[in-house]
Amino acid sequence: MAIGIDPVENHLALGLSDEAVRDMYRLMVLARRLDDRMWALNRQGRVPFVLSSSWHEGAQVGAALALDRAVDWSVPYYRDLAFMVALGMTPEELFLGLFAKEGDPSSSGRQMPSHWSLPRLRVFSHSSVIGTQFPHAAGIAFELKRTGRPGVVPVTAGECGTSQGDLHEALNFTALHKLPVIFLIQNNQYAISVPASEGVAGDLAERARAYGIDACSIDGNRVLEVYGAVARAAERARAGEGPAFIEARTYRYYAHTSDDDDRLYRSPEEVEQWRRRDPIALLRQYLVESRLLTEAEEEVIEEEAASTVAAAAAAAEQAPDPSDALSLVYARPLRNLQAVEALEAPPAGAEANMVTAINKALHEIMADHPDAVVLGEDVADPKGGVFKATVGLTDAYGKDRCFNTPLAESLIVGAAIGMAAAGARPIAEIQFADFIHPAFNQIVSEAARLHYRSAGGWSCPLVIRVPYGGGIHGALYHSQSIEGFYAHVPGLKVVIPSTPADAKGLLRAAVEDPDPVLFLEPKKLYRLAKGPVPSGPHRVALGRAALRRTGGDLTIIAYGTMSHFAVAAADRLAAEGIE
């Protein structure tokens, strides 16, 4: 039995057994030896790139072990090696990623090392873009709360990530909805070479408190202090008390990456000063003084870690290389190879304009798909959207299925990505296409890349509805056509209807598609285009052309608004004998 020598740092008071705190030490040693081997392999020229986690072990192991690994989700960042090991990623799986092998569970070698994804443990995939993970965590937590499922969602980053607007949008959203998110910021004092004194103004915890979020700043090198803070935050979140923000102060002992030379911006004296705060050494001292670790036991732990690391590295290095770097860009690729030769038969149904058809489609989709959720600015009743496309949805299906968001486009799309990961079919609305660009990273770097970068481990069944184009006297910032930006993005499908029937059928097909779809709605046609609209679950296949007229004189290819006017022009030309 431990004597609990330190009243501030006592594992028994935290509900941890003697064996549990020894396991903490084993995991931290294993993580350090994994990191050491990664650097050795890089110096030997056997792997091209390394992201180090040394000196972060206290913050990461303490946080991971405070979670319920049966129900909780995680949204880590690239320095979270020890966090992943403590969650349950095996050393061999880690080395498979380092060597970019086919069996790499994060990406099958598609991403750089340490870009984690592990669906079996609900570890959501992340990219190299700083800060985009915060809205994902908010969206996952929203869907867990909406569906009444248990689970807390920790999301991690370095202190440099707190300068990104995505963090503040996520803080605001999680505070508004009291979501079970734990923001864990590992302040290691540097953003590559930029010291925190030049990149972080004020107190990080105070920033979170300004949103009404419970926040604290702790010593990230003391694993028991981290465990206690995260355990308390998780308990609050499970009780419905909302998010928490934890700044864990630590240090990045090695360079930012293997391509960085930290001697250019850090003095040996500074590094040595932090070396004395090694989290493993601090825990070892605690265990020895608590009579929980003998010299012989310490040697066994080191030997076991060394042999585990050596075996894992050897097995991973011999594993098969990836065989197809171009596969899995889409979950459902569009392969329509057959030419359309017959005129499209006119649909049957009552006449309606395009915006009415879209509203009808949304009502039917929400009724047929309980996992469908509509979110965006002004989409909820009583307004029901600035163009009335979402009117009646909140009244019919509830405030948790059609709800307003803050005016924050990156948050809208990023949270929808998280909701999709947790099982929803989100239909996000960006009010005007002209204002979609703050969400460019979330659309292009996140939603469109997710299936590919996770080697099919995650899909993103997300629809982003966007009123777009001119024709409504909207001037410069309410008239732009944005399809040229997005139609060239691998992994993203772009859909533009030209008739009310197509709008209804394409929208349902988009919602039922496993890939992200940008659904651009021509504002000019909202009330101008009228025609029969089929009732019931009408579908129009994505990626197929429609033949509206035939003739021998002229070929006109168009989409959206210009398709509507092209048909009208063809009618006039026919009257003049031109087909």
- Catalytic residues, which ones? 409, 478
Helical residues (DSSP H) of 249-392, grouped into ranges: 268-275, 279-289, 295-317, 354-368
Using CA of residue 182, residue 188, residue 191, residue 196, what is the dihedral sign? positive
Structure tokens at 330: 């889409």
Residue count (the chain): 579
* Whether 78 contacts 56, CB under 8 Å: no
List beta partners, residue 517.
Answer: 463, 493
CA 82 – CA 92 distance, rounded (Å): 14
Measure the CA angle with vertex 126, ends 123 and 128; round to 5°.
150
In angstroms and rounded to an integer, the radius of gyration of the C-alpha atoms of the chain is 27
Closest residue by Cα to residue 62 from 90, 28, 32, 96: 28
The span from the CA of 456 to the CA of 470, in Å, is 38
**Which residue in this structure is represented by tokens 């533009």?**
496
State how far the Cα of 383 lies from the Cα of 206, in Å rounded to an integer: 36
Of 156, 18, 180, the C-alpha closest to 87 is 156
Residue type, 54: S
Decide if 539 contacts 505 (C-beta within 8 A): yes
DSSP annotation string for 362-403: HHHHHHH-TTEEEEETT-STTT--TTSTTTTHHHHH-TTTEE
Q: Which residues pair with residue 402 across a beta bridge?
A: 374
Backbone angles phi, psi at 356, to 5 degrees: -65, -40
Strand order, beta sheet including 181-187: 153-158, 181-187, 244-249, 214-219
The CA-to-CA distance between both ends of the chain, in Å, stands at 93
C-alpha span between 487 and 489 (Å, rounded): 6
Q: Residue 348 carries which side chain, given as an amino acid letter?
A: A
Q: Count CB neighbours of 226 within 10 A.
A: 28
Check if the beta carbon of residue 457 is closer than 8 Å to that of residue 119.
yes
